[in-house]
Amino acid sequence: MTRSWAEPWKIKMVEPLSMTTRDQREDAIRDAGYNTFLLRSDDVYIDLLTDSGTSAMSDRQWSALMLGDEAYAGARSFYKLVEAVSDVYGYEELIPTHQGRGAEHILSQLLIGPGDVVPGNMYFTTTRYHQEHAGGTFVDVIIDEAHDPSSMHPFKGNIDLDKLAAVVDEHGADRIAYVSFETNVNMAGGQPASLANIKDVYAYCSERDIPVMLDATRAVENAYFIQQREAGHENSSIADILLEITKHSDGATVSSKKDNLVNIGGFLAVRDPELARRARAMLVAFEGLHTYGGMAGRDMEALAEGIREMVATDDHVRSRVGQVGYLGEALVKYGVPVVTPIGGHGVFLDAAAILPHLPQEAFPAQALAAAIYVDSGVRGMERGIVSAGRDPETGDHHVPKLELVRLTIPRRVYTQSHMDVVAESVIEVYDHAEDIQGLEFTYEPPELRFFQARFQPIS
Protein backbone atom coordinates (compact mmCIF):
# COMPACT_ATOMS: atom_id res chain seq x y z
CA MET A 1 0.00 0.00 0.00
CA THR A 2 1.30 3.50 -0.75
CA ARG A 3 1.59 5.73 2.29
CA SER A 4 0.75 9.44 1.97
CA TRP A 5 3.03 12.23 3.03
CA ALA A 6 1.68 15.35 4.69
CA GLU A 7 3.01 18.75 5.58
CA PRO A 8 5.36 18.83 8.60
CA TRP A 9 3.41 21.77 10.09
CA LYS A 10 -0.10 22.67 11.19
CA ILE A 11 -2.03 25.88 10.65
CA LYS A 12 -2.18 28.42 13.49
CA MET A 13 -3.54 31.48 11.70
CA VAL A 14 -5.63 31.82 8.56
CA GLU A 15 -6.09 34.55 5.96
CA PRO A 16 -9.49 34.64 4.21
CA LEU A 17 -9.42 34.45 0.40
CA SER A 18 -11.61 36.46 -1.97
CA MET A 19 -14.12 34.57 -4.05
CA THR A 20 -15.19 36.27 -7.29
CA THR A 21 -17.63 35.55 -10.11
CA ARG A 22 -16.59 34.88 -13.68
CA ASP A 23 -18.07 38.26 -14.74
CA GLN A 24 -15.97 40.04 -12.12
CA ARG A 25 -12.86 38.22 -13.29
CA GLU A 26 -13.52 39.07 -16.95
CA ASP A 27 -13.69 42.75 -15.97
CA ALA A 28 -10.61 42.47 -13.75
CA ILE A 29 -8.39 40.90 -16.42
CA ARG A 30 -9.51 43.44 -19.02
CA ASP A 31 -8.71 46.26 -16.58
CA ALA A 32 -5.32 44.61 -15.96
CA GLY A 33 -4.49 44.66 -19.69
CA TYR A 34 -4.50 40.82 -19.75
CA ASN A 35 -1.38 40.86 -17.60
CA THR A 36 -1.70 38.85 -14.38
CA PHE A 37 0.99 41.07 -12.78
CA LEU A 38 -1.47 43.96 -12.98
CA LEU A 39 -4.34 42.23 -11.17
CA ARG A 40 -5.15 43.30 -7.64
CA SER A 41 -4.58 40.42 -5.26
CA ASP A 42 -8.10 41.02 -3.86
CA ASP A 43 -9.38 39.77 -7.22
CA VAL A 44 -7.32 36.56 -6.99
CA TYR A 45 -8.48 33.33 -5.33
CA ILE A 46 -5.41 31.06 -5.41
CA ASP A 47 -2.28 33.08 -6.08
CA LEU A 48 0.36 31.09 -7.95
CA LEU A 49 1.98 34.14 -9.56
CA THR A 50 5.21 33.47 -7.73
CA ASP A 51 6.89 31.66 -4.87
CA SER A 52 8.86 34.85 -4.25
CA GLY A 53 8.18 36.54 -0.93
CA THR A 54 4.93 34.61 -0.56
CA SER A 55 6.00 31.99 2.00
CA ALA A 56 4.25 31.60 5.33
CA MET A 57 6.73 32.27 8.13
CA SER A 58 6.83 29.93 11.12
CA ASP A 59 5.89 30.90 14.68
CA ARG A 60 9.64 30.97 15.41
CA GLN A 61 10.27 33.43 12.61
CA TRP A 62 7.42 35.67 13.79
CA SER A 63 8.83 35.67 17.30
CA ALA A 64 12.32 36.33 15.94
CA LEU A 65 10.96 39.57 14.44
CA MET A 66 10.53 40.88 17.99
CA LEU A 67 14.21 40.31 18.69
CA GLY A 68 15.31 42.55 15.83
CA ASP A 69 18.12 44.90 16.77
CA GLU A 70 17.50 48.10 14.84
CA ALA A 71 20.88 49.68 15.63
CA TYR A 72 22.14 51.60 12.62
CA ALA A 73 25.58 50.04 12.93
CA GLY A 74 26.76 46.69 14.21
CA ALA A 75 23.31 45.25 14.90
CA ARG A 76 23.20 41.93 16.77
CA SER A 77 20.73 40.69 14.14
CA PHE A 78 23.35 41.16 11.41
CA TYR A 79 25.85 38.94 13.22
CA LYS A 80 23.19 36.27 13.67
CA LEU A 81 22.61 36.37 9.93
CA VAL A 82 26.35 36.17 9.20
CA GLU A 83 26.54 33.04 11.39
CA ALA A 84 23.52 31.43 9.74
CA VAL A 85 24.88 32.04 6.21
CA SER A 86 28.30 30.76 7.23
CA ASP A 87 26.90 27.60 8.89
CA VAL A 88 24.34 26.75 6.23
CA TYR A 89 25.93 28.03 2.99
CA GLY A 90 29.60 28.01 4.01
CA TYR A 91 30.40 31.56 2.85
CA GLU A 92 32.20 33.82 5.32
CA GLU A 93 31.66 37.21 3.68
CA LEU A 94 28.07 38.48 3.70
CA ILE A 95 26.66 41.51 1.94
CA PRO A 96 22.98 41.89 2.92
CA THR A 97 20.67 43.40 0.27
CA HIS A 98 17.00 44.31 0.03
CA GLN A 99 16.36 41.32 -2.25
CA GLY A 100 18.07 39.20 -4.88
CA ARG A 101 18.32 41.85 -7.57
CA GLY A 102 20.16 44.17 -5.16
CA ALA A 103 22.86 41.49 -4.89
CA GLU A 104 22.84 40.96 -8.67
CA HIS A 105 23.32 44.68 -9.21
CA ILE A 106 26.38 44.84 -6.95
CA LEU A 107 27.96 41.65 -8.30
CA SER A 108 27.42 42.66 -11.95
CA GLN A 109 28.84 46.15 -11.43
CA LEU A 110 31.92 44.75 -9.69
CA LEU A 111 32.81 41.87 -11.98
CA ILE A 112 31.51 42.81 -15.44
CA GLY A 113 33.16 45.36 -17.69
CA PRO A 114 31.94 46.58 -21.10
CA GLY A 115 32.50 43.85 -23.71
CA ASP A 116 32.71 41.04 -21.15
CA VAL A 117 30.83 37.80 -21.60
CA VAL A 118 28.81 36.01 -18.91
CA PRO A 119 27.99 32.39 -19.70
CA GLY A 120 25.11 30.94 -17.69
CA ASN A 121 22.57 28.12 -17.54
CA MET A 122 19.56 29.75 -19.17
CA TYR A 123 18.80 33.26 -18.02
CA PHE A 124 16.77 34.85 -15.27
CA THR A 125 15.11 38.17 -16.09
CA THR A 126 16.65 40.42 -13.44
CA THR A 127 19.98 38.59 -13.49
CA ARG A 128 20.46 39.09 -17.22
CA TYR A 129 19.20 42.66 -16.96
CA HIS A 130 21.96 43.53 -14.48
CA GLN A 131 24.60 41.69 -16.53
CA GLU A 132 23.63 43.64 -19.66
CA HIS A 133 23.27 46.88 -17.71
CA ALA A 134 26.92 46.48 -16.63
CA GLY A 135 27.98 46.14 -20.29
CA GLY A 136 28.17 42.35 -20.45
CA THR A 137 26.68 39.88 -22.90
CA PHE A 138 24.93 36.85 -21.52
CA VAL A 139 25.47 33.55 -23.36
CA ASP A 140 23.29 30.54 -22.61
CA VAL A 141 25.35 27.38 -22.05
CA ILE A 142 22.68 25.14 -20.53
CA ILE A 143 22.31 21.61 -21.94
CA ASP A 144 19.98 21.30 -24.95
CA GLU A 145 17.51 19.14 -23.01
CA ALA A 146 16.59 22.18 -20.89
CA HIS A 147 14.92 23.73 -23.93
CA ASP A 148 12.80 20.64 -24.58
CA PRO A 149 9.73 20.67 -22.31
CA SER A 150 9.18 16.92 -22.62
CA SER A 151 12.77 15.73 -22.11
CA MET A 152 12.94 13.61 -18.94
CA HIS A 153 16.62 14.41 -18.29
CA PRO A 154 16.97 14.34 -14.47
CA PHE A 155 19.31 17.36 -14.42
CA LYS A 156 18.06 19.77 -17.03
CA GLY A 157 19.81 22.63 -15.20
CA ASN A 158 23.28 21.27 -16.07
CA ILE A 159 25.81 23.39 -17.90
CA ASP A 160 27.05 21.88 -21.17
CA LEU A 161 30.83 21.92 -20.71
CA ASP A 162 31.44 21.82 -24.46
CA LYS A 163 29.29 24.92 -24.95
CA LEU A 164 31.09 26.62 -22.07
CA ALA A 165 34.52 25.71 -23.49
CA ALA A 166 33.48 27.03 -26.91
CA VAL A 167 32.54 30.40 -25.38
CA VAL A 168 35.82 30.54 -23.44
CA ASP A 169 37.83 29.60 -26.54
CA GLU A 170 36.05 32.20 -28.66
CA HIS A 171 36.46 35.13 -26.27
CA GLY A 172 39.44 34.11 -24.12
CA ALA A 173 39.23 33.40 -20.39
CA ASP A 174 40.05 37.00 -19.44
CA ARG A 175 36.88 38.27 -21.20
CA ILE A 176 34.69 35.91 -19.17
CA ALA A 177 33.51 37.96 -16.19
CA TYR A 178 32.27 34.88 -14.36
CA VAL A 179 30.09 31.86 -14.93
CA SER A 180 26.56 32.54 -13.70
CA PHE A 181 25.37 29.17 -12.42
CA GLU A 182 21.75 29.03 -11.27
CA THR A 183 20.60 26.21 -9.04
CA ASN A 184 17.19 24.72 -9.81
CA VAL A 185 16.85 26.79 -12.95
CA ASN A 186 13.70 28.88 -12.73
CA MET A 187 13.06 29.59 -16.42
CA ALA A 188 13.72 25.95 -17.37
CA GLY A 189 10.89 24.87 -15.07
CA GLY A 190 12.63 24.60 -11.70
CA GLN A 191 15.16 22.07 -13.00
CA PRO A 192 18.25 21.07 -10.99
CA ALA A 193 21.94 20.75 -11.81
CA SER A 194 23.77 17.62 -10.65
CA LEU A 195 26.54 17.83 -8.10
CA ALA A 196 28.85 16.16 -10.62
CA ASN A 197 28.14 18.96 -13.11
CA ILE A 198 28.63 21.68 -10.49
CA LYS A 199 32.00 20.13 -9.56
CA ASP A 200 33.10 19.77 -13.20
CA VAL A 201 32.22 23.37 -14.05
CA TYR A 202 34.08 24.64 -10.98
CA ALA A 203 37.15 22.55 -11.78
CA TYR A 204 37.17 23.75 -15.40
CA CYS A 205 36.77 27.40 -14.37
CA SER A 206 39.25 27.29 -11.48
CA GLU A 207 41.99 26.09 -13.85
CA ARG A 208 41.37 29.20 -15.94
CA ASP A 209 40.82 31.72 -13.11
CA ILE A 210 37.19 32.22 -14.09
CA PRO A 211 34.99 32.79 -11.01
CA VAL A 212 31.84 30.68 -10.61
CA MET A 213 29.01 32.64 -9.04
CA LEU A 214 25.94 30.66 -8.08
CA ASP A 215 22.44 31.98 -8.10
CA ALA A 216 21.66 29.93 -5.00
CA THR A 217 18.11 31.26 -4.70
CA ARG A 218 16.59 27.76 -4.89
CA ALA A 219 19.68 25.71 -3.98
CA VAL A 220 17.80 23.79 -1.28
CA GLU A 221 15.30 22.50 -3.83
CA ASN A 222 18.25 21.60 -6.07
CA ALA A 223 19.85 19.74 -3.14
CA TYR A 224 16.64 17.73 -2.72
CA PHE A 225 16.73 16.57 -6.35
CA ILE A 226 20.39 15.60 -5.97
CA GLN A 227 19.45 13.51 -2.94
CA GLN A 228 16.60 11.85 -4.84
CA ARG A 229 18.26 11.37 -8.23
CA GLU A 230 22.05 11.35 -8.09
CA ALA A 231 23.74 8.08 -7.17
CA GLY A 232 25.80 8.26 -4.00
CA HIS A 233 23.83 11.06 -2.35
CA GLU A 234 20.68 9.21 -1.29
CA ASN A 235 21.87 8.99 2.32
CA SER A 236 23.21 12.54 2.61
CA SER A 237 21.14 15.21 4.35
CA ILE A 238 19.90 18.27 2.46
CA ALA A 239 22.09 20.40 4.74
CA ASP A 240 25.22 18.45 3.73
CA ILE A 241 24.38 18.48 0.02
CA LEU A 242 23.80 22.24 0.14
CA LEU A 243 27.28 22.78 1.61
CA GLU A 244 28.72 20.49 -1.05
CA ILE A 245 27.07 22.59 -3.79
CA THR A 246 28.31 25.92 -2.46
CA LYS A 247 31.81 24.53 -1.83
CA HIS A 248 32.22 24.42 -5.62
CA SER A 249 31.72 28.13 -6.18
CA ASP A 250 33.36 31.47 -5.43
CA GLY A 251 30.21 33.09 -4.16
CA ALA A 252 26.49 33.40 -4.63
CA THR A 253 23.61 35.77 -5.00
CA VAL A 254 20.47 34.73 -3.14
CA SER A 255 16.95 36.05 -3.21
CA SER A 256 15.87 35.15 0.32
CA LYS A 257 12.25 35.41 -0.75
CA LYS A 258 12.32 31.77 -1.92
CA ASP A 259 14.19 28.92 -0.12
CA ASN A 260 14.91 31.17 2.87
CA LEU A 261 11.24 31.44 3.86
CA VAL A 262 10.98 35.20 4.33
CA ASN A 263 8.89 37.83 2.59
CA ILE A 264 11.76 40.21 1.81
CA GLY A 265 15.56 40.15 1.79
CA GLY A 266 18.54 38.74 -0.03
CA PHE A 267 22.29 38.69 -0.03
CA LEU A 268 25.55 38.41 -1.89
CA ALA A 269 27.98 36.04 -0.21
CA VAL A 270 31.56 35.52 -1.34
CA ARG A 271 34.80 33.97 -0.17
CA ASP A 272 37.28 36.63 -1.32
CA PRO A 273 37.66 39.35 1.38
CA GLU A 274 38.85 41.86 -1.23
CA LEU A 275 35.76 41.35 -3.40
CA ALA A 276 33.65 41.64 -0.25
CA ARG A 277 35.34 44.93 0.63
CA ARG A 278 34.53 46.34 -2.80
CA ALA A 279 30.97 45.05 -2.54
CA ARG A 280 30.52 46.78 0.83
CA ALA A 281 31.70 50.04 -0.70
CA MET A 282 28.89 49.75 -3.25
CA LEU A 283 26.42 48.52 -0.64
CA VAL A 284 26.69 51.70 1.42
CA ALA A 285 25.95 53.77 -1.70
CA PHE A 286 23.04 51.77 -3.11
CA GLU A 287 21.44 49.78 -0.26
CA GLY A 288 22.46 50.76 3.27
CA LEU A 289 25.27 50.46 5.82
CA HIS A 290 27.26 47.23 5.53
CA THR A 291 25.67 45.72 8.66
CA TYR A 292 22.09 45.96 7.36
CA GLY A 293 22.31 46.74 3.63
CA GLY A 294 18.72 46.61 2.48
CA MET A 295 17.11 45.04 5.54
CA ALA A 296 15.69 46.05 8.91
CA GLY A 297 17.12 44.29 11.96
CA ARG A 298 13.88 42.32 12.38
CA ASP A 299 14.05 41.14 8.75
CA MET A 300 17.57 39.83 9.34
CA GLU A 301 16.38 37.96 12.47
CA ALA A 302 13.53 36.27 10.60
CA LEU A 303 15.89 35.50 7.73
CA ALA A 304 18.53 33.93 9.98
CA GLU A 305 15.82 31.71 11.46
CA GLY A 306 14.41 30.87 7.99
CA ILE A 307 17.86 29.85 6.71
CA ARG A 308 18.27 27.43 9.60
CA GLU A 309 14.71 26.10 9.31
CA MET A 310 14.93 25.32 5.62
CA VAL A 311 17.56 22.64 6.29
CA ALA A 312 16.82 21.71 9.91
CA THR A 313 15.07 18.55 8.71
CA ASP A 314 14.66 17.10 5.22
CA ASP A 315 10.89 16.88 5.82
CA HIS A 316 10.38 20.55 4.94
CA VAL A 317 11.77 20.38 1.42
CA ARG A 318 10.32 16.91 0.80
CA SER A 319 6.83 18.22 1.50
CA ARG A 320 7.43 21.46 -0.40
CA VAL A 321 8.61 19.76 -3.58
CA GLY A 322 6.08 16.98 -2.97
CA GLN A 323 3.20 19.43 -3.15
CA VAL A 324 4.47 20.80 -6.46
CA GLY A 325 4.74 17.21 -7.71
CA TYR A 326 1.18 16.46 -6.56
CA LEU A 327 -0.22 19.22 -8.76
CA GLY A 328 2.06 18.30 -11.64
CA GLU A 329 1.13 14.62 -11.56
CA ALA A 330 -2.59 15.46 -11.62
CA LEU A 331 -2.05 17.41 -14.85
CA VAL A 332 0.25 14.81 -16.40
CA LYS A 333 -2.33 12.11 -15.65
CA TYR A 334 -4.94 14.02 -17.63
CA GLY A 335 -2.54 14.62 -20.52
CA VAL A 336 -2.05 18.38 -20.10
CA PRO A 337 1.34 19.26 -21.66
CA VAL A 338 3.69 20.40 -18.87
CA VAL A 339 7.43 20.67 -18.45
CA THR A 340 8.80 17.37 -17.19
CA PRO A 341 10.20 16.25 -14.86
CA ILE A 342 8.00 18.39 -12.59
CA GLY A 343 10.24 21.08 -11.09
CA GLY A 344 10.90 22.22 -7.56
CA HIS A 345 8.89 25.41 -7.21
CA GLY A 346 6.12 25.25 -9.77
CA VAL A 347 4.34 23.46 -12.54
CA PHE A 348 5.07 24.93 -15.96
CA LEU A 349 2.33 24.54 -18.58
CA ASP A 350 3.57 24.15 -22.15
CA ALA A 351 1.50 26.92 -23.73
CA ALA A 352 2.97 26.30 -27.19
CA ALA A 353 1.61 22.73 -27.11
CA ILE A 354 -1.70 23.69 -25.46
CA LEU A 355 -2.43 26.50 -27.94
CA PRO A 356 -0.96 25.24 -31.24
CA HIS A 357 -3.30 27.60 -33.14
CA LEU A 358 -1.44 30.67 -31.78
CA PRO A 359 1.97 31.73 -33.16
CA GLN A 360 4.51 32.82 -30.52
CA GLU A 361 4.11 36.49 -31.59
CA ALA A 362 0.47 36.24 -30.43
CA PHE A 363 1.78 35.57 -26.89
CA PRO A 364 0.14 32.19 -26.20
CA ALA A 365 1.44 31.89 -22.63
CA GLN A 366 0.20 35.38 -21.76
CA ALA A 367 -3.22 34.47 -23.18
CA LEU A 368 -3.32 31.11 -21.37
CA ALA A 369 -2.50 32.69 -17.99
CA ALA A 370 -5.34 35.17 -18.52
CA ALA A 371 -7.77 32.38 -19.48
CA ILE A 372 -6.98 30.33 -16.37
CA TYR A 373 -7.53 33.39 -14.21
CA VAL A 374 -10.92 34.03 -15.82
CA ASP A 375 -11.91 30.38 -15.32
CA SER A 376 -11.18 30.11 -11.61
CA GLY A 377 -9.36 33.09 -10.12
CA VAL A 378 -6.10 31.11 -10.12
CA ARG A 379 -3.25 33.45 -11.00
CA GLY A 380 -0.17 32.15 -12.84
CA MET A 381 2.53 33.96 -14.78
CA GLU A 382 3.74 34.11 -18.38
CA ARG A 383 7.26 32.73 -18.83
CA GLY A 384 7.78 32.91 -22.57
CA ILE A 385 8.43 35.48 -25.26
CA VAL A 386 7.07 38.41 -23.24
CA SER A 387 9.36 37.63 -20.29
CA ALA A 388 12.31 37.12 -22.64
CA GLY A 389 12.14 40.77 -23.79
CA ARG A 390 14.07 42.24 -26.69
CA ASP A 391 17.71 42.07 -27.74
CA PRO A 392 19.19 45.43 -26.62
CA GLU A 393 21.31 45.60 -29.81
CA THR A 394 18.80 44.70 -32.52
CA GLY A 395 15.51 45.53 -30.79
CA ASP A 396 14.06 42.19 -31.95
CA HIS A 397 12.15 39.91 -29.59
CA HIS A 398 14.30 37.30 -27.88
CA VAL A 399 12.48 34.15 -29.02
CA PRO A 400 12.80 31.50 -26.30
CA LYS A 401 12.17 27.87 -27.15
CA LEU A 402 10.02 27.57 -24.04
CA GLU A 403 6.62 29.29 -24.07
CA LEU A 404 5.28 28.54 -20.62
CA VAL A 405 2.75 29.49 -17.97
CA ARG A 406 4.20 29.05 -14.51
CA LEU A 407 1.96 27.97 -11.66
CA THR A 408 4.29 28.68 -8.76
CA ILE A 409 3.55 27.24 -5.36
CA PRO A 410 4.21 29.46 -2.33
CA ARG A 411 5.88 27.61 0.55
CA ARG A 412 3.69 26.45 3.45
CA VAL A 413 0.67 28.44 2.23
CA TYR A 414 -1.82 26.28 0.31
CA THR A 415 -3.25 22.82 0.95
CA GLN A 416 -3.72 19.84 -1.33
CA SER A 417 -7.38 20.85 -1.76
CA HIS A 418 -6.19 24.10 -3.31
CA MET A 419 -4.02 22.06 -5.65
CA ASP A 420 -7.08 20.01 -6.66
CA VAL A 421 -8.99 23.20 -7.51
CA VAL A 422 -6.05 24.43 -9.60
CA ALA A 423 -5.77 21.12 -11.48
CA GLU A 424 -9.50 21.10 -12.26
CA SER A 425 -9.35 24.65 -13.61
CA VAL A 426 -6.32 23.99 -15.82
CA ILE A 427 -7.99 20.86 -17.20
CA GLU A 428 -11.20 22.81 -17.96
CA VAL A 429 -9.24 25.49 -19.82
CA TYR A 430 -7.15 22.87 -21.64
CA ASP A 431 -10.33 21.13 -22.84
CA HIS A 432 -11.50 24.40 -24.47
CA ALA A 433 -8.09 25.74 -25.45
CA GLU A 434 -9.08 26.32 -29.09
CA ASP A 435 -11.36 29.18 -27.92
CA ILE A 436 -8.43 31.21 -26.54
CA GLN A 437 -7.52 34.24 -28.66
CA GLY A 438 -4.02 35.66 -29.10
CA LEU A 439 -2.95 39.04 -27.67
CA GLU A 440 -1.13 42.14 -28.87
CA PHE A 441 0.65 44.90 -26.95
CA THR A 442 -1.14 48.15 -26.16
CA TYR A 443 1.81 49.23 -23.97
CA GLU A 444 5.31 47.78 -23.98
CA PRO A 445 7.76 49.05 -21.36
CA PRO A 446 11.40 49.24 -22.49
CA GLU A 447 12.86 47.34 -19.51
CA LEU A 448 11.65 44.06 -17.92
CA ARG A 449 8.48 44.49 -19.96
CA PHE A 450 6.55 41.53 -18.59
CA PHE A 451 5.94 43.26 -15.25
CA GLN A 452 3.89 46.18 -16.55
CA ALA A 453 3.02 45.47 -20.20
CA ARG A 454 -0.62 45.79 -21.28
CA PHE A 455 -2.35 43.78 -24.00
CA GLN A 456 -5.63 43.40 -25.84
CA PRO A 457 -7.09 40.44 -27.72
CA ILE A 458 -6.12 40.43 -31.39
CA SER A 459 -9.27 41.36 -33.22
Nearer to ligand PLI, 266 or 438 (CB): 266
Closest CA to 36 of 324, 366, 299: 366
Residues 304, 64 contacting (CB under 8 angstroms): yes
247 is catalytic: no
Nearest approach, Cβ of residue 102 and ligand PLI (Å): 7
Least distance in Å: CB of 449 to ligand PLI? Answer: 15
Specify whether 78 is catalytic: no
Is residue 272 annotated as part of the catalytic site, yes or no?
no
Instruction: Select 20 or 127, whichever has its Cβ closest to ligand PLI.
Output: 127
Instruction: Kindly list the residues in this chain that would bind ligand PLI in the complex (CB under 6 A).
Output: 50, 52, 99-101, 124, 126-127, 182, 186, 215, 217, 255, 257, 266
**Residue 258 known to be catalytic:** yes
In whole angstroms, the minimum distance from the beta carbon of 264 to ligand PLI comes to 8
- Return the number of the residue (101 or 248) whose C-beta is nearest ligand PLI: 101
Options 156, 258, 308, 411, the catalytic residue: 258
Residue nearest to ligand PLI (CB): 100
The distance of closest approach from Cβ of residue 382 to ligand PLI in the complex, given in angstroms and rounded to an integer, is 11
Query: Is 443 tagged catalytic?
Result: no
Nearest approach in angstroms of CB 450 to ligand PLI is: 10
Any catalytic annotation for residue 363? no
Nearer to ligand PLI, 57 or 362 (CB): 57
Cα–Cα nearest to 56, from 316, 379, 237: 316
Tell me if 427 sits within 8 A of 331, measured CB to CB: yes
Which of residues 80 and 101 has its CB atom nearest to ligand PLI in the complex?
Answer: 101
Asked about 415 being catalytic, the answer comes back as: no
Residues 101, 128, 218, 383: which is the catalytic one? Answer: 383
Catalytic position from the list 30, 40, 72, 334: 72
The residues that are catalytic are 72, 124-125, 215, 258, 383, 450
